[in-house]
Amino acid sequence: MGHAGYIDFHCHLDDPCFDGSRWRIITECFASGFEKLVVVADPHEERSLALVDEMLSRHAAIDAIAGAHPHQADRYDARIEKRLLDFLERPRVRALGESGLDFHYDFSSRDGQIRVFERQVAIAGEHSLPLVIHARRAEAQVLEILERARFAPPVVFHCFTGARAEAEEILARGYFLSFSGIITFKKAGELREIVAQTPLDRLLSESDSPYLAPEPERGRTNSPLAVLRVAETIATIKNVDLNDLRDRIAENCRRLWR
């Protein structure tokens, strides 16, 4: 019985920066021992939905998530919601996300972000879909909205960068934390401590490519292949065998999708 492959729980392979290299990168990932790529679709962009649809149809080991990102909240309307609802009906669209609140960049009004996120939580609940959360400087507010909505299916805080107290609250609720290349950054000591304290059955690995390339590539265009470095870093922090870690992450992903 072999070990599970790598999982990139969150990548933006629809990004235009991959237009010349998308299929080569996907082929390279699966040749490098990947089990799954989870690609993010953006209902605000028809191009994104079409590209992710093509990836799903061409590769059985690619799954997708789709949701209204807080950066675009002020643009969200009935037409975009219809696109989202239609896309969620496709096979292997496994979760609603990334959706949440971003009070760091504030690219959309906070009221708009809250309104759209509450709507996304309702849609996920109606479809019995897990939620993949984007939270920047708004973890407490996100948790409050989830509590108010009595949201039941699984929740993942993707690319977690919050404080230890917030991580403890997320884990206490039975939610998952997904970690990106940020855990390799020199000043990310507190985040590495959070990785150390996160139970193996509540942990996921992601690239968030094309963003957040790990050290020593920091600042360059990232690719899903960076998950190898993320997984190695998690395994080192937690002092576990890399093969065993990959098995646990793959099992966590299967549990989520169930």
pLDDT (average), residues 218-230: 95
pLDDT (average), residues 57-62: 96
Say if residue 8 is exposed, middle or buried (CB neighbours under 10 Å; 0-12, 13-18, 19+).
buried
Per-residue model confidence (pLDDT) at position 1:
61
Residue 2 has pLDDT above 90, yes or no: no
Residue of 1 and 87 predicted with greater confidence: 87
DSSP designation for 190: H
Per-residue model confidence (pLDDT) at position 152:
87
Structure token digits, residue 159: 């690319």
User: Are the C-beta atoms of residues 82 and 64 closer than 8 Å to each other?
Assistant: no
pLDDT tens for each residue of 20-32:
999 999 999 999 9
122 vs 111: CA distance, rounded Å: 17
Structure token digits, residue 251: 């099992």
Per-residue model confidence (pLDDT) at position 153:
75
Query: What is the overall mean pLDDT for the chain?
Result: 96
Residue 257 has pLDDT above 80, yes or no: yes
pLDDT (average), residues 139-150: 97
For the chain, domains (ranges, CATH) are 6-257 (3.20.20.140)
pLDDT (average), residues 26-55: 97
One-letter amino acid for residue 11 of the chain = C
pLDDT (average), residues 77-83: 97
pLDDT tens for each residue of 111-137:
999 999 999 999 999 999 999 999 999
Residue 37 has pLDDT above 80, yes or no: yes
Structure token digits, residue 61: 């080991």
